[in-house]
């Protein structure tokens, strides 16, 4: 009789342990591939408007290539000793973002999943934690205090992601499994980062002269994009060089005159070659 009871207790414990391990098991983690060059996309591959509003759509794959490595490094550095982060993947849902992780301690594999809401803080990208799960089990948000990765349940994107410092976000939201960002450029940050010191004063002067009307602003966008493309050792396409000449021809006489004076003053051979 007692042996039968012990067997039942052992069986129940086995079922509980098995069920618990099943409930906390990690989700399948997808390999994200090489890092995503967001700077190249917003400054070279698109038509950046340095004076107005811009829009960027980031797919799930692109978002992972952009920030998954940064998030993984931060989490691993803050995890208690003995817990290893095996992988991390970010899913874009209709109205939120789900960060799925695979972790291991001793021989136990488990997953910590976070449901996040993309937000902007001082014009920068951040994520507010709405829910946290141990596998399929809900956990109180207070457990986030165990990790210094989050401030007030919010994760801030690391400034070492260069593109984050180049833009000021006005709106962001998830739609159709994509992250949509409306933003303006931080022109001074772009010039200080991608224009060599000997040409910065000249570019600033060109910006002042060309910040008059839509046509002149279009032309400045072209010039800055050309400088950045060359600084990144990328080739200027024939279509783009034709666009530069077309936008230059659209300028009024006085603006062209001011530009020629600046060209004589700074002797910018790059711009002379483009025109």
pLDDT in tens, 188-232: 889 888 888 888 898 899 899 999 888 999 999 998 998 888 888
The pLDDT value given to residue 55: 92
Average pLDDT over residues 136-161: 66
pLDDT at 1 over 60: no
pLDDT of residue 157: 65
Task: Determine the pLDDT at residue 51.
Answer: 92
Average pLDDT over residues 165-187: 87
The three-state (H, E, C) secondary structure of the chain, written as one string: CHHHHHHHHHHHHHHHHHHHHHHHCCCCCCCCCCCCCHHHHHHHHCCCCCCCCEEEEEEHHHHHHHHHHHHHHHHHHHCCCCEEEEEEEEEECCCCEEEEEEEEECCEEECEEEEEEEEEECCEEEEEEEEEEECCEEECHHHHHHCCCCECCEEECCCCCHHHHHEEEEEEEEECCEEEEEEEECHHHHHHHHCCHHHHHHHHHHHHHHCCCHHHHHHHHHHHHHHHHHHCCCCCCHHHHHHHHHHHHCCCHHHHHHHHHHHHHHCCHHHHHHC
For the entire predicted model, the pTM comes to 0.76
pLDDT (tens digit per residue) in 51-87: 999 998 989 998 898 888 888 887 788 778 888 888 8
Q: In the predicted model, is pLDDT for residue 162 greater than 70? A: no
Is the pLDDT reported for residue 104 higher than 80? yes
């Amino acid at each position: 009789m007692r042996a039968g009871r012990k067997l039942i207790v052992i069986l129940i414990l086995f079922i509980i342990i098995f069920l618990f391990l099943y409930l906390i098991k990690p989700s399948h983690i997808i390999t994200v591939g090489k890092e995503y060059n967001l700077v190249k996309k917003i400054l070279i591959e698109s038509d950046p408007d340095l004076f107005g509003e811009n829009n960027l759509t980031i797919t799930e794959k692109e978002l992972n290539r952009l920030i998954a490595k940064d998030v993984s490094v931060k989490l691993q550095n803050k995890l208690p000793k003995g817990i290893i982060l095996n992988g991390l993947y970010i899913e874009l849902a209709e109205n939120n973002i789900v960060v799925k992780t695979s972790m291991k301690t001793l021989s136990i594999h488990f997953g910590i999943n976070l449901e996040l809401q993309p937000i902007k803080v001082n014009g920068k990208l951040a994520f507010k934690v709405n829910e946290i799960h141990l596998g399929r089990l809900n956990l109180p948000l207070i457990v986030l205090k165990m990790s210094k990765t989050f401030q007030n349940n919010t994760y801030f994107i690391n400034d070492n992601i260069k593109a984050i410092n180049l833009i000021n976000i006005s709106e962001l939201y998830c739609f159709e499994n994509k992250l949509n960002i409306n933003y303006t450029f931080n022109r001074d940050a772009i010039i200080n980062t991608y224009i060599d010191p000997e040409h910065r004063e000249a570019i600033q002067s060109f910006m002042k002269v060309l910040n008059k009307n839509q046509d002149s602003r279009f032309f400045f966008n072209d010039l800055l994009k050309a400088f950045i493309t060359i600084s990144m050792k990328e080739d200027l396409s024939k279509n783009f060089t034709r666009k530069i000449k077309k936008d230059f021809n659209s300028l009024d006489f006085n603006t062209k005159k001011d530009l020629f004076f600046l060209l004589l003053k700074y002797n910018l051979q790059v711009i002379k070659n483009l025109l």
